[in-house]
Amino acid sequence: MGQRGGNFWVVAWRGGVLGLLGGLGLALAAWGQGAEGSDSPVVPLNDLLKLPSRLALPAELERHGGATKTEWQARFVDAREDIVKAEKFLAKSRKALEEKVADGGAWRLTAPGLGSARPEDQTSPLNPNVPADYKLSQEVRRGREEVDRSGRHLQDLEVEANLAGVPERWRYVEAPDAR
């Protein structure tokens, strides 16, 4: 009985292998005939692993430096808006300080060692050595620092975009009527 069961599996295995080889032979024969009589071009294997050059990615999917066109445009818009906000804040602070100095308020103080508190010494509202109003002077200083920081941020963004190969047109938002 052991031999009979063993013969069954041997015969089944041989039949399976022969069937597989036969099927493979038929497939190769059909492929050989199809290649000779077909109009399809022969494509190298390396070309099959690449996207065709005629299929360009849509702009929404194209990325440079890990970001899409809209993401880069948003970064540049935010950086430019930060500069505008900082410049407006600085202008407002300077104007308030100039009005305070021109007003000739009764309280004109200076820190020890910074000079006299005489009114003729305090004619320039932007003179950091003569604070006519400490709070406004600090606002002007913060405004200048914010303008400088915002400008550096925009420059850093430009450098990052250059290193990432971001196209120039991605750095500006197109006007709707420009199309």
Question: Taking a C-beta distance cutoff of 8 angstroms, is the pair 126, 139 a contact?
Answer: no
Nearest alpha carbon to residue 63 among 175, 161, 177, 178: 161
Give the C-alpha separation, 143 to 137, whole Å: 10
User: Token digits for 20?
Assistant: 């597989």
Give me the torsion for CA of 58, 59, 63, 69, rounded to 10°.
Answer: -160
In order along its 179 residues, the chain shows pLDDT tens digits of 445 555 666 656 666 666 666 666 656 665 655 555 567 777 777 777 776 666 665 655 678 888 888 899 999 999 999 999 999 999 999 998 888 777 655 445 555 555 555 554 444 555 554 555 778 888 999 999 999 999 999 999 999 999 999 999 888 887 666 54
Dig out the tokens for 54 from the structure. 């005629």
Interval 140-161: pLDDT, tens? 999 999 999 999 999 999 999 9
pTM of the model: 0.53
